Each structure stands twice: as structure tokens, then as C-alpha cells.
Structure 1
Amino acid sequence: MKETTQIAPTNSFKMIKAMALIGILCGLLIVLTYEGTLARIADLKEKALQEAIFKVLPGSTQTQAFSYNKSSFDIASKGDQNLVYAGYDENGELIGLAIVASGQGYADVIRVLYGYSIDNQKIIGFYVLESKETPGLGDKIEKDPSFLSNFEALDASLNEAKSAIQNKIVTVKKGEKVNEWEIDGITGATISSRAIGDIIGKSTQKWIPIIYKNQSVFKKYRNEQSQQ
């Protein structure tokens, strides 16, 4: 009579237990790494933002964050939302306001910072804070000199009542810019450059009338600081 060899069954419970333990350990390591680097990442982002403010507000040497609440601005505290950043020169004169704005690009959300001069009613600087646009194409919004020159003196004038933007900022096809409130687009990066026009167009419509109306708050702050 033929003997049959019996194979000991695999202890599946031990395997599952080991896999679960490994999963728990990996998850714990991820959480600990995240928690351990969170403060560092926040500090780096804050430093990058401060450097960007100086870039979009040429001539500024010091900044102050303000938060908007319903109808007025106050000096910002930690955790406040709806922030804008006032930039001042070495004499304490207000250069302008730096404003964060974001919107959908071609690949993902684009987050930008732009500078606004109250006295000239113009956008005077632009910087991309976060973008995942296609390298070599969409990322030209960050480094193309011709495109970036759009934001050296981009018209953001208010209407006569100072209640709204006179002409909405928009992106046009490369070479078709005829008005001071138009952004000359990028050939080969049409969607990305148009996205910038949409982002800044919507943001200026929201923020510029409010900032203009409350400009005394930003100027008063530096006057008070200089008297202390």
C-alpha cells in the first residue's frame, strides 16, 4: 500500500500577525517622522514666504502680517486666516501689500504670491510658491523672463467709486497683449499661463477694493511703530 506524505500546513495566523506588526511599526514610523519634521517644514515655508514677499515688493526691507475679519484688518496673530503682508522700506514707508492666491493649473493647484502697490494701483511683483506644472512647459510660469515681466507694472486700477477693479486681469495669447491689465501668455504653456490670469484676476477682484479702503491701517501701523 502506497504511503502518502503529509505536508504540515503553514501557520497563516503567525504570518498575518507578523504582517500586521510590520504594518503598525511602519505606520508609527511615518507618524513620528511627520510629527518630528512638521515644525521644521513650517519654519522653512515661513522663511520662503518672507523671502518671496521681499521679491514681490521691491524695495521693502521689513514686513508685517495683517488678518482680515469681516470689515477691517488687524495685526495678525498665530493661527489667523485671510492674511495679507504689508511691506515697508527702511524709512517705514509702505511699499505695498503681498497677497497669496491659488487656483487650478494644468497638473494641480498653483499657489502664488503677488505684490500690489496702493499708490500706483498696480501689481508690481509675482512669485510662484507652489506648482506641479509640467517641467519644461508649464513651469515656465516660474522662470520665463518675458512672462514674469508682465507683473512689473500690471494695471489693477479701481473704478471711480473705488469699489471694484475697473478691468479684470486676464491672460491673452502670446503677442496679443494690447492693454495694461492683460497678461501676455506663454506659447506651449497656454493652460498654465491662463491659470495665472484666472488666479490673479479673481484674487484682485476680492482683495484690492478691501485693501484700498483700509490702506490707512497699514500706514498707521508703521507711524505708530516709529513713534515708540
Structure 2
Amino acid sequence: MRQLIEKWKNYAAYQSGLLAVVCGIAAILLVTAQWLTQPVIAQRIAEDQNALLHAVLNGKSYSNSVFSQGETINFEGSSFDLFPVKNDTGSVIAWVIRGEQEGYSGPIRYLVGVDTRGEILGVRIISHSETPGLGDKIERMKSSWILGFNHRSLTNTPLWAVKKDGGDFDQFTGATITPRSVVKGVHKALQALAHQKENGHE
């Protein structure tokens, strides 16, 4: 009996040790994979943003490397990246705001182009995980809904909400949460920029 117990203990110790080794190897592989893919993911995001830049600026010409000159600000619990858009003389002619708002299935990352009067030039979605066929209509490739933000501002749009909530923006059939989230995020992005400019940051 004692021999059987000792044999079982040795077997259990062996199994535990083997499990620990396997877990250790898996952790190393996971960290290595993340380390290797992180630059690729960052590069892809940068490429996507640059591809969207022309759209969010509505074709406006610029001379600077927009995404290399930004600053991060916090406004009412949310973080925004502000990027100045400059002409040949170095004057700011517009702003690009990068923000994130929680949607139905996860965070929705977006870009907003705003002119010096505070009027939206364009909005585009960088990434999201919303329901295909419903929430993904926030993508320009899927519908024209996102164009409804063009020419909007804090002054000419008193109620930033979907029509179901009494606002001016359309919602999607069967997917109200997604457009509601985007409207909320874009509105807050405009407020963040206005607040930053009011405090002397041009």
C-alpha cells in the first residue's frame, strides 16, 4: 500500500511538473508572438489611418505629417488624440481627432476631421467589432450613414442623438446601440477640441 501511495505521489509530481513546463513554454510563445506581431499591427493601423486621412479632411490639402504631431488630452473621462493639419506656411487649417467609444460588441475607434470653425469635414471608422450586417453599417463601404456627420458642428446641431432619442441622426433597423455610440463619441470629440481651444491651445 505504501509503495502504491509513493508511486502515486511521484506520478502526481511528474504530472504537475510537466504541466508547469508546458504552461511556461506556452507563455513564452505567447509573449514572443505578441512581440513579433505588435509592430506589424501598429504599422497596419498607421496605414489604415493614412488611407482615411483624405476622407476625413474631405480632400483638403495639407503639408505636414499629420499623425506625427499630435497630443493626447483627457476630457470627461475619455482620451482623445488631437492632430493639427497645417498648410505650406505652417498655419493650422484643420484638426483630426482620434477617439474611441464603446459600442455594442466592443470599442469603436474613429477619426474626425474638423475645420477651424469647428465644423466637421468628415468622420471615418478605423476599427470595430460590431455585428456584421447590422452595426457594421457605420463603415463607409457598407453604407452612407457616416456621411451624415459632414458639416455638423456644436452650434448647428443642438441635440446629438439618433432619431429614436429625439435627435437628427438615423439609426439602423435592429441596431440602435452602434449608431448611438458613434454619435456620442463624435459629439464628445468635438467638445474635447472646443474645450482645448478655449483653454488657449491652438
TM-score, with structure 2 as normaliser: 0.75
Q: Which residue of 1 aligns with 2:155?
A: 157
Aligned residues: 187
Q: Distance in 1 between matches of 2:144 and 2:15?
A: 61
Tell me: CA distance 1:57–1:130, structure 2 relative to 1, closer, same or farther (3 Å).
same
Tell me: CA distance 1:57–1:214, structure 2 relative to 1, closer, same or farther (3 Å).
farther
Does residue 171 (structure 1) correspond to residue 175 (structure 2)? The answer is no
Q: Which residue of 2 aligns with 1:24?
A: 24
Q: Which residue of 1 aligns with 2:70?
A: 66
CA displacement, residues 74-102 of structure 1 (integer Å, 9 cap, x when unaligned)? xxxxxxx8531123467866541111122
Q: Which moved more, 1:30-39 or 1:47-56?
A: 47-56
CA displacement, residues 93-133 of structure 1 (integer Å, 9 cap, x when unaligned)? 654111112222111122211111123x3111111122111
Unaligned runs of 5+ in 2: none
Q: 1:127 aligns with which of 112, 117, 124?
A: 124
Q: Distance in 2 between matches of 1:89 and 1:50?
A: 17
CA displacement, residues 158-213 of structure 1 (integer Å, 9 cap, x when unaligned)? 8xxxxxxx735322249x87xxxx32222222111111111122222222243377
Q: Distance in 1 between matches of 2:139 and 2:53?
A: 15
Q: Where does 1:194-213 land on structure 2 (aligned, <5 Å)?
A: 194-211=180-197
CA displacement, residues 20-74 of structure 1 (integer Å, 9 cap, x when unaligned)? 111111111111111122223222222322332332112234443232679xxxx
Tell me: CA distance 1:42–1:68, structure 2 relative to 1, closer, same or farther (3 Å).
closer
Tell me: CA distance 1:214–1:66, structure 2 relative to 1, closer, same or farther (3 Å).
farther
Q: Which residue of 2 aligns with 1:103?
A: 101
Shift of 1:135: 0.8
Q: Which amino acid aligns with 1:131?
A: H
Q: Which amino acid aligns with 2:12?
A: S
Q: How large is the Cα RMSD of the aligned pairs?
A: 3.2
Q: Which amino acid aligns with 1:67?
A: E
Q: Which residue of 2 aligns with 1:15?
A: 15
Does residue 142 (structure 1) correspond to residue 139 (structure 2)? The answer is yes
Q: Which residue of 1 aligns with 2:114?
A: 116
Q: Looking at secondary structure, tell me which structure has more helix per residue.
A: 2
Q: Distance in 2 between matches of 1:202 and 1:69?
A: 12
The sequence identity of aligned pairs, in percent, is: 23
Does residue 85 (structure 1) correspond to residue 83 (structure 2)? The answer is yes
Tell me: CA distance 1:94–1:111, structure 2 relative to 1, closer, same or farther (3 Å).
same
SS in 1 for 2:162: strand
Tell me: CA distance 1:88–1:204, structure 2 relative to 1, closer, same or farther (3 Å).
same
